[in-house]
């Protein structure tokens, strides 16, 4: 049944995408199919999650990787009004996260809520995780707001976005945070440190905190919050969805796990640091993951090998993958993939239907 579910997800997205004039496929064999009629957006074959673990980490297969239960509670926070994007309706916050150097860290976040959202008409939400060299992008938040989603974008590296930072920026994206923060991303240069002192641990913790914080808004349906991440953010998102069972969907772009031993830069990286491969690249974390996941990549990506993407899609209980030919590696390209929004719409609709009657 799992293989059938994966195929349905892929074919459904393929139909929608081809009908809109884009080219997308799982391999090179389906690109010449003649599609000459409009298609309605299909419903995906999601298995509703039951008995969701919402107060502690879901995956516990690695003893060294333990996240405090407090991350599943609404975090302490401070408004950072000086960094608001008022013209975009996006507000800035500092969210308290796990300790580093004996003091709580504070994660910078942009939050946007669509104007249609109210306590009586809550909207779905999404957590947005940037890639290497990126930051919290206000325009990524606004992009999801325009699709009717509340959104939160965090900076995973202890920084604050510059005034000019956006998804299309190439430089001068951020500066060091004014608050105490976690470690920066050194591409596993911190491999010898305890797990809870490594960059990726703090990035995953920040992602969980972001989910908890977005859930606290009365205009947001906490049962319908998903996440997506780009490149390094895809690695972080894949880990986060394994540890946090509350997510309604996940869409890692380029990055995932199971990269060790594969071609590409991250395959080499994990071969160089096998300890990090065991902690953060272990596909076993997905084996009991029930969250609907759509993995996105393409065969020419220099960083992440598609054979690892396929392993992830085949290991998770409710997952699929799509390969987008000539998908360039970048924040703007990874954020503006229409299939992610279609996938999210269907996943949150299925989640909502399965929760009818709950309070």
Q: Over the stretch 176-234, which tens digit does the pLDDT of each residue have?
A: 999 999 999 999 999 999 999 999 999 999 999 999 999 999 999 999 999 999 999 99
Q: Is 341 helix (H, G, I), strand (E, B) or coil?
A: helix
pLDDT of residue 351: 54
User: What is the per-residue pLDDT across 22-73, written as a single tens digit (0 to 9) for each?
Assistant: 222 233 323 333 323 332 334 456 667 889 999 999 999 999 999 999 999 9
Q: Phi and psi at residue 343, in whole multiples of 5°?
A: -60, -45
Q: Give me the chain's average pLDDT, please.
A: 87
Question: In Å, how far are 102, 214, 236, 253, 334 from 128, measured between CA atoms?
Answer: 27, 11, 11, 11, 11
pLDDT band at 295 (very low <50, low <70, confident <90, very high): very high
CATH superfamily of 52-354: Alpha/Beta hydrolase fold, catalytic domain (3.40.50.1820)
H-helix segments, the chain:
2-19, 138-146, 199-215, 232-243, 265-272, 274-280, 306-315, 331-335, 338-354
Strands 159-161 and 174-176, bridge-based pairing = antiparallel
How far is residue 232's CA from residue 253's CA, in Å, rounded to a whole number?
A: 9
Helix (H) or strand (E) segment spanning residue 103: strand 103-112
Q: pLDDT exceeding 90 applies to what percent of the chain?
A: 81
Alpha-carbon span 241 to 124, nearest angstrom = 17
Ordered by start, the domain boundaries in the chain are: 52-354
Element (DSSP H or E) covering residue 229: strand 220-230
For residue 33, what pLDDT is reported?
34
Q: Regarding predicted confidence, which is higher, 14 or 337?
A: 337
Q: Please state which of the ranges 13-17, 132-136, 337-341, 342-346 shows the lowest mean pLDDT.
A: 13-17
Rounded distance between C-alpha atoms, residue 75 and residue 106, angstroms: 10
172 pLDDT band, cuts 50/70/90, is: confident
Cα-based distances in Å from 207 to 33, 114, 241, 309: 40, 21, 9, 21
CB atoms within 10 A of CB 49: 21
pLDDT in tens, 317-352: 999 999 999 999 999 999 999 999 999 999 998 554
**Is 107 in contact with 55 (CB distance < 8 Å)?**
no
Can you tell me the mean pLDDT for 269-280?
A: 97
Strands of 6-102, DSSP E: 77-79, 90-100
Q: pLDDT of 98-122, one tens digit each? A: 999 999 999 999 999 999 999 999 9
pLDDT at 9: 41
């Amino acid at each position: 049944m799992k293989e059938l579910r994966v195929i349905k997800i892929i074919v459904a997205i393929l139909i929608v995408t081809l009908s809109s004039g884009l080219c997308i496929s799982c391999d090179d064999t389906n690109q010449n199919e003649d599609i000459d009629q409009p298609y309605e957006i299909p419903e995906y074959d999601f298995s509703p999650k039951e008995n969701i673990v919402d107060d502690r980490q879901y995956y516990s297969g690695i003893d060294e990787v333990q996240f405090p239960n407090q991350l599943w509670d609404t975090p302490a926070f401070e408004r950072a009004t000086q960094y608001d994007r008022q013209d975009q309706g996006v507000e800035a916050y500092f969210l308290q996260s796990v300790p580093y150097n004996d003091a709580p860290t504070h994660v910078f976040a942009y939050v946007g809520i669509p104007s249609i959202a109210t306590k009586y008409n809550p909207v779905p939400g999404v957590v947005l995780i940037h890639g290497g060299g990126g930051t919290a992008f206000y325009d990524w938040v606004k992009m999801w707001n325009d699709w009717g989603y509340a959104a939160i974008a965090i900076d995973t590296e202890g920084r604050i976005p510059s005034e000019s930072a956006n998804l299309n920026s190439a430089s001068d994206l951020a500066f060091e945070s004014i608050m105490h923060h976690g470690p920066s991303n050194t591409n596993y240069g911190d491999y010898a440190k305890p797990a809870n002192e490594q960059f990726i641990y703090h990035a995953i913790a920040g992602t969980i905190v972001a989910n908890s914080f977005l859930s606290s808004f009365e205009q947001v349906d906490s049962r319908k919050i998903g996440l997506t991440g780009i490149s390094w953010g895809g690695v972080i998102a894949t880990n986060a969805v394994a540890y946090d069972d509350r997510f309604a969907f996940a869409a890692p772009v380029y990055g995932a796990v199971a990269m060790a031993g594969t071609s590409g830069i991250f395959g080499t990286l994990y071969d160089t640091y096998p300890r990090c491969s065991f902690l953060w690249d272990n596909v076993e974390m997905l084996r009991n993951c029930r969250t609907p996941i759509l993995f996105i990549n393409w065969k020419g990506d220099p960083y992440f090998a598609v054979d690892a993407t396929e392993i992830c899609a085949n290991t998770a209980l409710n997952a699929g993958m799509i390969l987008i030919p000539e998908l360039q590696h970048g924040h703007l390209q990874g954020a503006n993939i229409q299939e992610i929004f279609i996938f999210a719409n269907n996943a949150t609709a299925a989640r909502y239907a399965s929760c009818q009657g709950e309070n």
